Amino acid sequence: MSDLKDLIKKHKKTEIQIKKITEDRLKDRTSESWAELRKLKKIKLKLKEKINKKKLNII
């Protein structure tokens, strides 16, 4: 269970980072900010997949 909780915490932190970058991106439309946002969204998706797999294994 602690692994699952850790994954959920990482997922939440990534979501917060994505929100901050999205807000900043409204003013700063550089390709660097877009690349960083894209990278974080990929990480978030991978974490979500891991969380779902763990939940299925527990049930």
pLDDT digits 0-9 by tens, 13-59: 999 999 999 999 999 899 999 999 999 999 999 999 999 999 998 87
What 3-state class would DSSP assign to 24? helix
What 3-state class would DSSP assign to 44? helix
pLDDT of residue 18: 97
DSSP-assigned letter for residue 49: H
pLDDT of residue 58: 81
- The pTM is what? 0.86
Please tell me the distance from the alpha carbon of residue 33 to that of residue 55, in angstroms, as a whole number: 33
Domain layout of the chain by residue ranges:
2-58
SS3 content of the chain, % helix, strand, coil (to 5): 90, 0, 10
